[in-house]
Structure 1
Amino acid sequence: MPESRRRPLPAYVLTYGVLPALLLLLAAAGLLKWQDGSVRNAQAPATESVRAATDGTIALLSYKPDTVETDLAAARGRLTGPFLDAYTLLTHDVVIPGAKQKKISAVATVPAAASVSSTDRHAVALLFVNQLVTIGQDAPTNTASSVRVTLDKVDGRWLISQFDPV
């Protein structure tokens, strides 16, 4: 009997084994890449708002007696809504006169911060704050506290709209 003609084994394996497996792997890799991008995009508001809360908190609570007016005026640029009004009143009536008269300086740091919730336009973060306050020539005092910072996105910037001690 004559031998029947068959495809060579390597071509058959390549056509029905390797190529479909390769296509399946590429599709899986594409899916994983898309999911990774989706997760990163979903985390972006949380990351951005925590950074804004941290930088804003440091600006709100840090000043020197010689530059207190400019320090706190710059901090007001990180605020919005009724909190901006309340902060402006407090700094104008209490903080600025006290810092100048008693030579008070304050340096705030945020050793830890985390997102509580976030959307594209609104976020809440929890911050642990250390503040070193020096009055005149006295020894500095260090206080530790935690604050719940609420932020709203206004014109593409995260601004603090509430600042609540916890």
Structure 2
Amino acid sequence: MNKSSVMVAEKLDDSVWSDAEDADQVDQVSAANADGVSGDASASPTAGAQVSDAAEDAGKSGRSWRRWLPRPLTGILMLLVVVSVVLAAVFGWKLETRNDRQAAGMAALAAARDYAVALTSIDSSHIDSDIATVLTGATGEFKTMYSQSAEQLKPMLVQAKSVSKGHVVAASVQSASDNQAVIMLFVDLEITNVTNPTPRVDRNRVLMTMDRVDGHWLASKVELP
């Protein structure tokens, strides 16, 4: 073997060894990097968890703020709910008021029918008790006026032996509130006396105002329109 061949062989051997050493160094670096990465990850699990928790908290905070932010649709729905509640309350109040007035009107109507019969039914044979019944169902100026008129008319009714009987033909509520009602009544009145023993029928239209006093409906005004 000549010198040139030996030199070429030596150079090839050096190149091969150099390449091998370079490959070993690359493998060592890669292994070190891998060990470093795995070591860092295993060495600080708390740091990773903190980062994850922080990200999760940030997401929740963002969602929380977005949840409280007014949205057009949410605002409209809330407005509709409020309006519905208010309307329901107003409607309930009006319905209760109307029911109360209707109940008051019906009670006043029943009392007015009974009182119209008492007012138009007078018998001279027991005139004092009849007058007392009429005064018991009256109030205010009408009671005062009837009391004065009855005292003046009583002697004449007794002398004529007058008897009158009233019958309510129809009645209706004209207006009503919690404590007052106006009732329209149609009353047929049969009258007999010494001069006219045969009953004479008088048909009357009576407008009666009823006031609630201490829980009782009493006549405060009687008109013949």
TM-score, normalised with respect to structure 1: 0.74
1:108 matched to 2:173? The reply is: no
Structure with greater proportional helix content = 2
Q: Give the corresponding residue for 2:127.
A: 68
Q: Map 1:13-162; keep pairs closer than 5 Å.
A: 38=96, 40-94=99-153, 96-136=154-194, 138-162=197-221
* AA partner of residue 121 (structure 1): N
* AA partner of residue 129 (structure 1): V
- Indicate if the aligned counterparts of 2:104 and 2:177 stay in contact, CA closer than 8 A: yes
1:42 and 1:92 map into 2 onto residues whose CA distance is 37
- Indicate if the aligned counterparts of 2:186 and 2:206 stay in contact, CA closer than 8 A: yes
- Indicate if the aligned counterparts of 2:188 and 2:203 stay in contact, CA closer than 8 A: yes
- Indicate if the aligned counterparts of 2:100 and 2:178 stay in contact, CA closer than 8 A: no
1:40: how far off?
A: 4.3
In structure 2, runs of 5+ residues without a counterpart are 1-91
Q: Could you report, residue by residue, the CA deviation over 1:58-98 in whole angstroms, capped at 9, with x for unpaired residues?
A: 1111011110111111111000001001001111101x212
1:41: how far off?
A: 3.5
Q: Could you report, residue by residue, the CA deviation over 1:14-68 in whole angstroms, capped at 9, with x for unpaired residues?
A: xxxxxxxxxxxxxxxxxxxx89x84544311110111111111111110111101
1:120: how far off?
A: 0.8
1:155 and 1:165 map into 2 onto residues whose CA distance is 27
Which is further off, 56-65 or 78-87?
A: 56-65
1:143 and 1:68 map into 2 onto residues whose CA distance is 20
1:163 matched to 2:222? The reply is: yes
- Indicate if the aligned counterparts of 2:205 and 2:224 stay in contact, CA closer than 8 A: yes
Q: Give the corresponding residue for 1:20.
A: none
1:79 and 1:147 map into 2 onto residues whose CA distance is 15
Of all paired residues, the percent bearing the same amino acid is 29
- The higher-RCO structure (CA 8 Å, 6+ apart) is 1
1:99: how far off?
A: 1.7
Q: Could you report, residue by residue, the CA deviation over 1:131-151 in whole angstroms, capped at 9, with x for unpaired residues?
A: 000012621100001011001
Structure with greater proportional strand content = 1
Q: Which runs of 4+ in 1 moved over 3 A?
A: 37-42
Aligned residues: 131
Question: Looking at CA atoms only, which structure, 1 or 2, has the larger radius of gyration?
Answer: 2
In structure 1, runs of 5+ residues without a counterpart are 1-33
1:156 and 1:42 map into 2 onto residues whose CA distance is 15
2:144 and 2:100 map into 1 onto residues whose CA distance is 33
1:156: how far off?
A: 0.5
Q: Give the corresponding residue for 1:22.
A: none
